[in-house]
Amino acid sequence: MTSPLLLVTEVPVDQEAIHEAVAAWQRWVTAADGSRSILYEGVETPTVLELTPLTALSDLTVLTGRWRDLGRALAPLSTGDVRRQVLEFVDAPKPAADELPDTPYVQLRHVEVKPPVHEDYLAWRPGTIFAEVLKSERIETFLAYHSLVSTDPGVMFVSGFSCEPDEYLPTFDSERYAEIARQAHPRFVTDDGLYTRIYRRVSAGRSAA
């Protein structure tokens, strides 16, 4: 069952150091008591991403003690600082069997929604965005979150898939989805905070101490 909260941690790293950064992070995850994280590397850019399901914000207490050590290990390999945010689960058009998608790839799809029309947006997306997702055989999991603690506010979709990215992307390249995007902007979404990023899973599975 999808966890109520999701911690998203990402670090941009040097292209030549991506494998070293992943190995260092994996050692940290393996050593973390009770970690249920999954680790990914960016497909389009050199970055390492960790998704961690949380039951409550109090779970962060266990994790924060290790962030400093991980930061030291990654610092020589990083090209930017750590990006970290907590997201709150809202909906699951295509639920995951577990807390996170169990797929070789995930895509993060982010938009910033204007607060005055937030409820209208929530009513609009089942018949538009979610309808297209439900029709796609390539998308195996699609989870909708909203930022809870973040400097990158807005809606985050976590889409899980197993095919190659070139086979997955046509779902969002169709004329119908282009029309959905035209409906969304500028009615619902701002010019800021719009991005899509694909990541490949590099961990063998959820680590357990």
Q: What span, in angstroms and rounded, lies between the C-alpha atoms of 198 and 81?
A: 20
**Taking 90 as the threshold, does the pLDDT of residue 193 lie above it?**
no
Q: What span, in angstroms and rounded, lies between the C-alpha atoms of 130 and 142?
A: 9
The residue ranges of DSSP E strands in the chain, in sequence order, are: 5-12, 38-42, 47-54, 83-94, 105-111, 139-149, 155-161, 195-201
Q: What CATH number is associated with residue 104?
A: 3.30.70.100
pLDDT score for 28: 76
pLDDT score for 188: 97
Residues 6+ apart with CB under 8 A from 183: 124, 128
**Taking 90 as the threshold, does the pLDDT of residue 103 lie above it?**
yes
pLDDT score for 208: 31
Whether residue 207 lies inside any domain: the answer is no
Band of pLDDT at residue 157, cut at 50, 70 and 90: very high
Question: What is the count of structural domains for the chain?
Answer: 1
Please provide the average confidence, as pLDDT, over all residues in the chain.
Answer: 92
Whether residue 209 lies inside any domain: the answer is no
Return the percentage of the chain with pLDDT > 90, whole number. 82
The conformation of residue 114, written as its DSSP 8-state character, comes to P
pLDDT digits (tens, 9 = 90+) for 42-96: 999 999 999 999 999 999 988 887 888 889 999 999 999 999 999 999 999 999 9
Whether residue 208 lies inside any domain: the answer is no
Range of the domain at 57: 5-201
pLDDT score for 55: 94
pLDDT score for 5: 97
Whether residue 155 lies inside any domain: the answer is yes
Alpha helices for the chain (secondary structure H): 18-31, 60-74, 118-124, 129-135, 165-168, 175-184
**Cis omega (within 30 of 0) on the bond before 186?**
yes
pLDDT score for 148: 97
**Taking 60 as the threshold, does the pLDDT of residue 209 lie above it?**
no
Whether residue 100 lies inside any domain: the answer is yes
Hey, which residues does 88 pair with through a beta bridge?
5, 146
Whether residue 147 lies inside any domain: the answer is yes
pLDDT score for 63: 86
